[in-house]
Structure 1
Amino acid sequence: MDNTSLRTTVTIRKKTSKERTIILGDFNERVGNDNLAWKGALGRHGLGNCNDNGRLLLEFCAEMQVTITKTQFQQKNHYKTFWMHPRSRHWHLIDYISVHQHDLGNVLHTRVMPSADYYTDN
């Protein structure tokens, strides 16, 4: 576990029941769509296959009872994906917002804004 993951884990464990924790990240992991194996951490609307780093993120989410919000909502793929692999030309879901599973009811929607003006290093 790297220092960032360790600090995030400590922060989540120290929060009180009234505090809300939102985790935003350019994680560059692919978490796939196996919501049965990752019940609670991954919703029914994931995309593609999981890679090794995605598995680590899902393990972290499962341990911390955190869910990846973008996988919880049914929407067209172009509202879920952010980055296209230059060789395969496949779109990937790699940037995530996560909240504690108990706080998911406070999230109305999570999606990519394709026309937003932003800087990215992807």
Structure 2
Amino acid sequence: MRILDAHPRTALLAARVLVGEEERLEPVSAQMAESPLGRPEGLPGPAVLGFLACSAIVRRDAFLAAGGFSDVLHFAGEEELLALDLASAGWGLAYVPELVVHHHPSTAGRDPARRRRREVRNRLLTAWLRRPLPEV
């Protein structure tokens, strides 16, 4: 909470994710560390427009004002829509590698092809939901 208190315009802190017993760095963490958005003034780390839900700390009022996670997307990509909504509302989102999450995902009952289909579906829905439409 001290990080959020010190950065009042930051809505979301994305932690570094270590996966499994071997604690390998989640590739998304490496990507966030090298964010092309840089580190704008007032953020506690590199600016990001994506994150892993399992590793995020979100300011409650910002989360609720942005509508939270979409019921339409449900799983596999819900983070992208929330990140876009927070950023468009003027909030900062930052990767903070000092925050660490140890993730031990279950592989039981996982269907990688089904997950990939849902990810593609949700990317398309996110693009459509936030696509600027002409006014009539």
Instruction: Note whether the superposition's TM-score is higher than 0.5.
Output: no
Structure with greater helix percent: 2
Instruction: Normalising by structure 2, report the TM-score.
Output: 0.26
If asked which structure has higher relative contact order (CA below 8 Å, sep 6+), I would say 2
Which structure would you say has the larger Rg?
2
